[in-house]
Amino acid sequence: MAASRSDALVIFGVTGDLAHKMIFPALYAMVKRGTLKVPVIGVALPKWSPERLHKRVTDSIKRSGGIDNRRALHHLLSLLKYVSGDYKDPNTFTAIKSALGGARRPAYYLAIPPSLFETVINGLGAANLAKHARVIVEKPFGRDLASAKELNQAARAVFPEDSIFRIDHFLGKEAIMNILYFRFANSFLEPIWNRNYVASVQITMSEDFGVKGRGAFYESAGCLRDVVANHLFQVVALLAMEPPSDRDFGAVHNEKASVFRAMRPIKPDDLVRGQYAGYRKEPGVAKNSDVETFCALRLFIDSWRWAGVPWYLRSGKFLPDTATEILVELKAPPQRLFADSAPATGRTNYVRFRLSPGAAIALAARVKIPGKEFVGEQRELFLLEDQAGEEAPYERLLGDAMVGDGALFTREDAVEAAWAVVDPVLKTHHRVRPYKRGSWGPKQADTIIASDGGWHNPKP
Catalytic residues, by residue number, are 231
Q: How far is the C-alpha of 81 from the C-alpha of 42, rounded, in Å? A: 6
Instruction: Count other Cβ atoms within 10 Å, centred on residue 35.
Output: 16
Q: For residue 156, which phi and psi values (nearest 5 degrees)?
A: -70, -20
Beta strands 106-110 and 310-316: pairing type?
unpaired
Residue 267 near residue 425, CB atoms below 8 Å:
yes
Instruction: Say whether 178 sits in a helix, a strand or coil.
Output: helix
Asked if residues 250 and 410 have their Cβ atoms less than 8 Å apart, the reply is no
CB 320 within 8 A of CB 457: yes
Helix, strand, coil percentages (3-state) for the chain, rounded to 5, are 40, 20, 40
Quote the CA–CA distance of 171 and 193 in Å, as a whole number.
22
Contact (Cβ atoms closer than 8 angstroms) between residue 346 and residue 327: no
- Give me the helices (H) in 3-138, please: 17-18, 24-33, 50-64, 70-79, 90-100, 117-126
Radius of gyration of the chain (CA): 24
